[in-house]
Structure 1
Amino acid sequence: MSSRLQRVLLKVQKPGRYVGGEYNQVQKDWRSVKTRVALLFPEIYDIGLPNLGISILYDCINRREDTLAERSYLPWKDMEDEMRSASIPLYSLESKNPLTAFDIIGVSVPYETLYTNVLNAFDLAGLPFLSAERDETYPLIIAGGHSTFNPESLAPFMDAFFLGDGEAVMDDLISCWQEWKRSGGTKQELLERLAGIKGMYIPSFYNVEYSSTGQVTDFKTNNSHAPVQILKRFAVPLPPPVTRFLVPNIDTVHNRVAVEIMRGCSRGCRFCQAGHILRPVRERPVEEVVNAIEEALEQTGYEEVALLSLSSSDYTHITELTQAILDRFAGRQITVSLPSLRIESFSVDLMEELHDLRPSGGFTLAPEAATERMRRIINKPVSTEQLLQTAGEIFDRGWTSIKLYFMIGHPSETMEDVAAIADLCKQVYAIGRKKIGGRVKVHAGVSTFIPKPHTPFQWATCDNTDAIREKLAFLRNELRSPGLKMTWADPESSLLEAWLSRGDRRTAQVIRRAWELGCRFDAWQDCFRFDLWQQAFAECGIDPFAYSHRPRDLDEILPWQHLGSGIELEYLKHDYEMSLKGEIRDDCREGCHNCGILTSYAAIKTGIKPGEWNCPPTHPKKKVQQEVN
Structure 2
Amino acid sequence: MRKLALSDEILLKVDKAARYIGGEVNSVMKDKNEVEIRFAMCFPDVYEIGMSNLGMMILYNMFNQREDVWCERLFSPWPDLDKVMREQNIPLFALESQEPIRDFDFLGITLGYEMCYTNILQVLDLSGIPLKSANRGEDFPIVIGGGACAYNPEPLAPFFDMFYIGEGETVYDALFDAYKANKKAGGIRRDFLLAAAKIPGIYVPSLYEVTYKEDGTIASFAPTADDVPEKVQKQLIIDMEKEYRAVEAPVVPHIKATQDRVTLEIQRGCIRGCRFCQAGMIYRPTRERDVETLKESARIMLKNTGHEEISLSSLSSSDYSQLKELVNFLIEEFHGKAVNISLPSLRIDAFALDVMSKVQDVKKSSLTFAPEAGSQRLRDVINKGLTEEVILHGAGEAFKGGWNQVKLYFMLGLPTETEDDMKGIAHLAQKIAETYYEVVPKEQRKGKVQINVSTSFFVPKPFTPFQWAPMYTEQDFVEKAKVVKNEVRAQLNQRSIRYNWHEPDVTALEGFLARGDRRCADVILKAYEKGALYDAWTENFDYDIWKEAMAECGVDMTFYTLRERSLDEILPWDFIDTGVSRRFLEREWQRAKEGVVTENCRQKCSACGAMKFKGGVCLEGKN
TM-score interval, smaller chain: over 0.9
Distance of 1:34 and 1:359 partners within structure 2: 53
Distance of 2:359 and 2:107 partners within structure 1: 44
CA contact (8 A) 1:503 1:547 kept: yes
Matched with 2:371 is 367
CA contact (8 A) 1:348 1:393 kept: yes
Matched with 1:415 is 419
Matched with 1:169 is 171
Pick from 195, 204, 207 the counterpart of residue 206 of structure 2: 204
The question of 1:452 aligning with 2:461 is answered yes
Pick from 379, 388, 391 the counterpart of residue 392 of structure 2: 388
Distance of 1:397 and 1:254 partners within structure 2: 27
Pick from 285, 290, 297 the counterpart of residue 285 of structure 1: 290
Matched with 2:480 is 471
Pick from 333, 340, 361 the counterpart of residue 335 of structure 1: 340
Distance of 1:394 and 1:193 partners within structure 2: 56
Deviations 1:6-45 (A, max 9, x none): 3311111111111111111111110111111000111111
CA contact (8 A) 1:201 1:230 kept: yes
Matched with 1:133 is 135
Matching of residues 196-275 of structure 1 within 5 Å: 196-238=198-240, 239-275=244-280
What amino acid maps onto 1:37 in structure 2? F
CA contact (8 A) 1:330 1:357 kept: no
Deviation at 1:2, TM superposition (A): 3.1
Distance of 1:588 and 1:121 partners within structure 2: 41
- Secondary structure at the counterpart of residue 589 of structure 1: coil
Matched with 2:323 is 318
Distance of 1:262 and 1:523 partners within structure 2: 28
What amino acid maps onto 1:310 in structure 2? L
CA contact (8 A) 1:268 1:379 kept: yes
Deviation at 1:320, TM superposition (A): 1.6
Distance of 1:187 and 1:364 partners within structure 2: 50
Deviations 1:82-119 (A, max 9, x none): 11122111100000111111111111011111111100
**Bigger Cα displacement from structure 2, 343-352 vs 230-239:** 343-352
Deviation at 1:478, TM superposition (A): 3.9
What amino acid maps onto 1:179 in structure 2? A
Matched with 1:429 is 433
Matched with 2:586 is 573
What amino acid maps onto 1:396 in structure 2? K
What amino acid maps onto 1:405 in structure 2? Y
CA contact (8 A) 2:4 2:21 kept: no
Task: Check 1:170–1:310 CA distance in 2 against 1; reply closer, same or farther (3 A cut).
Answer: same
Deviations 1:447-485 (A, max 9, x none): 111110000000111123322101212323444643322
How many residues align? The count is: 606
Distance of 1:68 and 1:43 partners within structure 2: 22
Distance of 1:504 and 1:359 partners within structure 2: 49
Deviations 1:563-614 (A, max 9, x none): 1211111111011011111111100111222111123x344xxxx43479xx
Task: Check 1:36–1:360 CA distance in 2 against 1; reply closer, same or farther (3 A cut).
Answer: farther
The question of 1:19 aligning with 2:27 is answered no
Distance of 1:240 and 1:397 partners within structure 2: 38
**Bigger Cα displacement from structure 2, 394-403 vs 254-263:** 394-403
What amino acid maps onto 1:186 in structure 2? I
Deviation at 1:327, TM superposition (A): 2.6
The question of 1:526 aligning with 2:531 is answered no
Matching of residues 547-562 of structure 1 within 5 Å: 547-562=560-575
What amino acid maps onto 1:333 in structure 2? A
- Secondary structure at the counterpart of residue 457 of structure 1: coil
Q: Percent identity?
A: 41
Task: Check 1:79–1:359 CA distance in 2 against 1; reply closer, same or farther (3 A cut).
Answer: farther
Matched with 1:621 is none
- Secondary structure at the counterpart of residue 570 of structure 2: coil
Task: Check 1:359–1:81 CA distance in 2 against 1; reply closer, same or farther (3 A cut).
Answer: farther
Pick from 178, 191, 194 the counterpart of residue 192 of structure 1: 194
Distance of 1:256 and 1:397 partners within structure 2: 26
Distance of 1:359 and 1:504 partners within structure 2: 49
What amino acid maps onto 1:490 in structure 2? E
Matched with 2:510 is 497
Task: Check 1:189–1:360 CA distance in 2 against 1; reply closer, same or farther (3 A cut).
Answer: farther
Distance of 1:548 and 1:350 partners within structure 2: 43
**Bigger Cα displacement from structure 2, 481-490 vs 281-290:** 481-490
Matched with 1:116 is 118
Deviation at 1:377, TM superposition (A): 0.5
Deviations 1:141-200 (A, max 9, x none): 100010110000000110000111011122122111111111110111000110111111
CA contact (8 A) 1:91 1:98 kept: yes
The question of 1:440 aligning with 2:444 is answered no
CA contact (8 A) 1:161 1:202 kept: yes
CA contact (8 A) 1:206 1:221 kept: yes
The question of 1:49 aligning with 2:54 is answered no
What amino acid maps onto 1:327 in structure 2? E
Structure 2: runs of 5+ lacking an equivalent: none
Deviation at 1:129, TM superposition (A): 0.7
Distance of 1:3 and 1:227 partners within structure 2: 42
Distance of 1:507 and 1:4 partners within structure 2: 35
What amino acid maps onto 1:45 in structure 2? Y
What amino acid maps onto 1:516 in structure 2? E
What amino acid maps onto 1:77 in structure 2? P
**Bigger Cα displacement from structure 2, 237-246 vs 130-139:** 237-246
Deviation at 1:439, TM superposition (A): 4.0
What amino acid maps onto 1:96 in structure 2? Q
Distance of 2:355 and 2:146 partners within structure 1: 34
What amino acid maps onto 2:519 in structure 1? R
Distance of 2:319 and 2:550 partners within structure 1: 43
Distance of 2:420 and 2:360 partners within structure 1: 42
Deviations 1:25-80 (A, max 9, x none): 11111011111100011111111112111111111111111111000111111111
- Secondary structure at the counterpart of residue 447 of structure 2: helix
Distance of 1:509 and 1:356 partners within structure 2: 48
What amino acid maps onto 1:515 in structure 2? Y
- Secondary structure at the counterpart of residue 198 of structure 1: coil
Distance of 2:614 and 2:344 partners within structure 1: 30
- Secondary structure at the counterpart of residue 344 of structure 1: helix
Distance of 2:584 and 2:355 partners within structure 1: 34
